C-alpha cells in the first residue's frame, strides 16, 4: 500500500500566505474548506501536520464552532494527553498561576471549562452562559515603563509579553494553541512601538496576536552558537509564574527586567522536585525536523551550557546573566520583518505550533470595542525533544 493510501489527501485547502516585499518571516498559512464541528480523523491528522509545517494557520469560517467541539478537537490533536488545559483546572490556575492569572481575567466556558474566555471589555449579557462579564484583558501594565495614557488612547501600544504557552512545571507545554475570534474590536491600525531607542515600530489592526519563529531564530545563530544551543539545557523554577509575579518587562515585552523582585524559592511553598522542568534549549519539530531555539526566558532559573555531549556543563544561575544571555540571542528575531500578526475575522480560529514560535498579545484602546476570544490547549502527552539528550543527573 502506498503512503498516499495510508494518509489520504486532506479535504481542505492550505494556502501559504503571500508576504509583502518587506516581510521576511517564513511561516503562516490560511486554511479553508473545513467545518470543525464535523471533522474526520484523517483531516485532524492532516490539520496537525499543517500546523507543524506552517507554524501558524488561520482556519477560516468557524463562527458556529461550539466550545464543546472546540475542546474535543484539541483532545483529538493529542489523544494520549490528560484531558485538561495545559495550565490545569481553573482553581489551580487562579491559585498558582501567579503573573498569568493575576494580570487578567480568565473564565472557563460553562460546560467546556477547558475552553477559556480571554479578551477585553464587556462580553455581552450572555456569552455562552457567562453573564454580564466585563473582562480585564492583558495590558501594558506588564511593562516597567508603560506608554503614557494619552499615547495609548491614540493607538500607540507595545508587544505585551513574548512567550510560549507553557506551564513549565508539572505538565509539558501544549503542542498547539487554538484561539478563536468570537468578537473583535474594530478601528484604525494601532502602532506597536519598541520604545527601546531602536526607533522600530509596526502597524496592525487592533486586537491581533503577534508571532515570531524560533526556528528562524535558530538559523540566525553562528555555527559556534548552534553547537552551544544544541547541547545546552535550561531548568525552570517551581511554580515559575508565581516566582516572577512581581517582575516587569522591558519596553519590547521580551524577557524581564532584573530588579530583584523574584520571590525566593522558599516563598513559593511546597513543591515537588519531580515536577521541575528541565528542557533542551533547542526543540525539534516532529514533522519538518527544524530546530527551534525555544527557551522561555521569563521563567528560566538555571542554564546549563556546553558545546558538546562530553563536556561538563557550565551552570549559569544568576537571573541577570541568564536574561542577558537569552536577550542577546532572542532579540535578533525581534524585528518587524520577522513578525507576523495574522489578520483575522470573527469566526476565524488561529492555531499555532507552541514548540517553534513565540507569541504575544497587543493591547489596544477600549474605544475600538470589546474583544472575545476562546482559547484552548492541552498539556502534551510527550514533551519537547532536543538534538541530544540532556543528562539525567544535573
Ligand atoms: Fe499565550
pLDDT for residue 381 is more than 90: yes
Confidence tier at 103 by pLDDT (50, 70, 90): low
Q: What integer pLDDT is reported at residue 100 of this predicted model?
A: 66
Q: How far is the CA of 164 from the centre of ligand 1 (A)?
A: 6
How many A from CA of 359 to the centre of ligand 1? 6
Ligand 1 center from residue 100 Cα (angstroms): 9
Compute the distance from residue 237 Cα to the ligand 1 centre, in Å: 19
The pTM of the full predicted model, rounded to 2 decimals, is 0.94
Specify the pLDDT at position 84: 76
Ligand 1 centroid to Cα of residue 22, in Å, is 26
3-state secondary structure 328-339: HHHHHHCCHHHC
Instruction: Give residue 245 CA to ligand 1 midpoint distance, Å.
Output: 16
Q: Which of 153, 148, 121, 146 is nearest to 135 (CA)?
A: 121
CA of 165 to the centre of ligand 1 (A): 5
Asked if residue 53 lies in contact with residue 47, where contact means CB atoms within 8 angstroms, the answer is no
Q: Is the pLDDT of residue 1 over 80?
A: no
Q: How far is the CA of 49 from the centre of ligand 1 (A)?
A: 21
* 161 C-alpha to ligand 1 centroid (Å): 9
Q: How far is the CA of 360 from the centre of ligand 1 (A)?
A: 6
Report CA(267)–ligand 1 centroid distance (Å).
26
How far is the centre of ligand 1, averaged over its atoms, from the C-alpha of 261 (Å)? 23
Percent of the chain past pLDDT 70, that is, above it, reads: 94
Q: What share of the chain is helix, strand, coil (3-state, %, to 5)?
A: 25, 25, 50
Q: What is the mean pLDDT of residues 288-296?
A: 98
CA gap 354, 222 in Å, rounded: 24
Per-residue pLDDT, 8:
63
State mean pLDDT over 55-68.
98
Å from CA of 305 to ligand 1 middle: 27
Query: Domains in the chain, please, with CATH?
Result: 13-215+336-376 (3.60.130.10), 222-331 (no CATH)
pLDDT of residue 64: 98
DSSP run (H or E) holding 319? helix 319-330
The answer to whether residue 2 scores a pLDDT higher than 50 is: no
pLDDT in tens, 127-146: 999 999 999 888 888 899 99
212-266 pLDDT, tens digit each: 999 999 999 999 999 999 999 999 999 999 999 999 999 999 999 999 999 999 9
Q: Measured in angstroms, how far is the CA atom of residue 8 from the centroid of ligand 1?
A: 32
Strand pairing report for 130-131 and 134-135: unpaired
Q: How far apart are CA 127 and CA 249, in angstroms?
A: 32
DSSP structure class, residue 266? G
In the DSSP assignment, the letter for residue 275 is G
Ligand 1 centroid distance, CA of 244 (Å): 16
pLDDT of the residue at 95: 67
Rounded Cα–Cα distance for residues 378 and 307 (Å)? 33
Distance, CA 59 to ligand 1 centroid (Å)?
A: 18
More confident residue, 266 or 342: 342
Rounded to the nearest angstrom, the distance between the alpha carbon of 375 and the centre of ligand 1 is 9
Residue 151 — very low, low, confident or very high, per pLDDT cuts 50/70/90? very high
CA angle 394, 353, 368 (to 5 degrees): 120
Q: Which three cell numbers stand for residue 364?
A: 489596544
Contact status, residue 141 vs residue 160, Cβ threshold 8 Å: no
Average pLDDT, whole number, for the chain? 93
Q: In terms of Cα–Cα distance, which of 201, 180, 162 is closest to 371?
A: 180
Rounded Cα–Cα distance for residues 321 and 258 (Å): 10
Digit-coded pLDDT (tens) for 252-265: 999 999 999 999 99
Cβ burial, residue 248 (10 Å; 0-12/13-18/19+): middle
Give CA separation, 143 vs 70, 253, 255, 358, in Å.
33, 7, 10, 18
Angle between helices 67-77 and 41-54 (to 10 degrees): 70
Q: Tell me the CA–centroid distance for residue 394 and ligand 1, in Å.
A: 30
Distance 86 CA to ligand 1 centre (A): 11
- Per-residue pLDDT band for 115 (boundaries 50, 70, 90) equals very high
Angle at 246 between CA 136 and CA 256, to 5 degrees: 100
Closest by alpha carbon to 34, among 374, 349, 376?
A: 349
pLDDT in tens, 293-325: 999 999 999 999 999 999 999 999 999 999 999
**CA–centroid distance, residue 155 to ligand 1 (Å):** 22
Amino acid at each position: 500500500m502506498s503512503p498516499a493510501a495510508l494518509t489520504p489527501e486532506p479535504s481542505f485547502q492550505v494556502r501559504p500566505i503571500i508576504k509583502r516585499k518587506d516581510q521576511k518571516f517564513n511561516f503562516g498559512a490560511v486554511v479553508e474548506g473545513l467545518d470543525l464541528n464535523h471533522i474526520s480523523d484523517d483531516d485532524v491528522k492532516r490539520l496537525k501536520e499543517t500546523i507543524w509545517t506552517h507554524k501558524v494557520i488561520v482556519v477560516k469560517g468557524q463562527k458556529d464552532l461550539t466550545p464543546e467541539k472546540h475542546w474535543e478537537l484539541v483532545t483529538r490533536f493529542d489523544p494520549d494527553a490528560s484531558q485538561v488545559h495545559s495550565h490545569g483546572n481553573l482553581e489551580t490556575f487562579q491559585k498558582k498561576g501567579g503573573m498569568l492569572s493575576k494580570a487578567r481575567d480568565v473564565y472557563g466556558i460553562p460546560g467546556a471549562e477547558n475552553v477559556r474566555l480571554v479578551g477585553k471589555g464587556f462580553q455581552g449579557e450572555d456569552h455562552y452562559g457567562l453573564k454580564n462579564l466585563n473582562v480585564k484583558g492583558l495590558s501594558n501594565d506588564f511593562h516597567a515603563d508603560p506608554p503614557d495614557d494619552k499615547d495609548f488612547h491614540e493607538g500607540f501600544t507595545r508587544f505585551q509579553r513574548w512567550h510560549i504557552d507553557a506551564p513549565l512545571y508539572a505538565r509539558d507545554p501544549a503542542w498547539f494553541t487554538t484561539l478563536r475570534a468570537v468578537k473583535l474590536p474594530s478601528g484604525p491600525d494601532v502602532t506597536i512601538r519598541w520604545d527601546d531607542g531602536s526607533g522600530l515600530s509596526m502597524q496592525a489592526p487592533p486586537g491581533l496576536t503577534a508571532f515570531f519563529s524560533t526556528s528562524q531564530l535558530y538559523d540566525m545563530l553562528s555555527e559556534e552558537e548552534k553547537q552551544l544551543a544544541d547541547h545546552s539545557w535550561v531548568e525552570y523554577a517551581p511554580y515559575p509564574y508565581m516566582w516572577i509575579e512581581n517582575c516587569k518587562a522591558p519596553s519590547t515585552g521580551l524577557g524581564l527586567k532584573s530588579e530583584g523582585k523574584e520571590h525566593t524559592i522558599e516563598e513559593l511553598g511546597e513543591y515537588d522536585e519531580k515536577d521541575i522542568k528541565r528542557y533542551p534549549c533547542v526543540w525539534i519539530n516532529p514533522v519538518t525536523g527544524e530546530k527551534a531555539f525555544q527557551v522561555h526566558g521569563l521563567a528560566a532559573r538555571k542554564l546549563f551550557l556546553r558545546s558538546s555531549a562530553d563536556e561538563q556543563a557550565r551552570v549559569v544561575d544568576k537571573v541577570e546573566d541568564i536574561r542577558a544571555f537569552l536577550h542577546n540571542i532572542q532579540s535578533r528575531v525581534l524585528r518587524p520583518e520577522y513578525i507576523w500578526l495574522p489578520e483575522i475575522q470573527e469566526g476565524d480560529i488561529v492555531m499555532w505550533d507552541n514548540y517553534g514560535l513565540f507569541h504575544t498579545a497587543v493591547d489596544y484602546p477600549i474605544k475600538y470595542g470589546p474583544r472575545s476570544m476562546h482559547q484552548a490547549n492541552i498539556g502534551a502527552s510527550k514533551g519537547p525533544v532536543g538534538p541530544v539528550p540532556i543528562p539525567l543527573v544535573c
